[in-house]
Amino acid sequence: MSGLLEALKNSDETIRDRATRELWQIWFEQKGVIGLEMLRRAQVFLEMQDFDQAEDLLTILVTQQPDFAEAWNRRAVLHYIQGNYQAAIADCETAIQLNPIHFGALHGLGICHMAIENYTSAVKAFRQALEVQPYSLENQRLILECTAKLS
């Protein structure tokens, strides 16, 4: 895993992209086939905008596997899409507590804080995400956007 983290900091975009994909794969597959299948089913419900079914599946998953960071992150995404930012923030924070290098959850935490106009916390989250993925132009842009709102 440390090799993948170092690859995220490589100046070669191809190396960074491969490391990013591999980390997402590790995170999604953390709980084996059953966990991965439940995440996939929840994603299908999310795409169908059947938010209740998606939330039910993800809540079962985080209840049965409370150390499954990606399940918490996926539920945070669902909450964010529904505009339930406080719940999304709580789930992002749990995912980050379980996996401090989860750049997706760190980015998600930042966009949730932006949504509620808590720009100081948003900048903090985006900076943490940049520590893991220093070449993320999106996080750099969002830091600038939030900083402009603060001044």
pLDDT in tens, 115-141: 999 999 999 999 999 999 999 999 999
pLDDT at residue number 68: 98
Q: In this structure, are residues 75 and 91 in contact, taking their beta carbons and an 8 Å threshold?
A: yes
**Fold assignment, 2-150:** 1.25.40
Mean pLDDT, residues 15-38: 96
Domain ranges of the chain: 2-150
pTM for this model (two decimals): 0.94
Q: What is the DSSP letter of 11?
A: S
CA 71 to chain CA centroid, Å, is 10
Tens-place pLDDT, residues 32-88: 999 999 999 999 999 999 999 999 999 999 999 999 999 999 999 999 999 999 999
Q: What DSSP designation does 80 have? A: H
Q: In this structure, are residues 69 and 98 in contact, taking their beta carbons and an 8 Å threshold?
A: yes
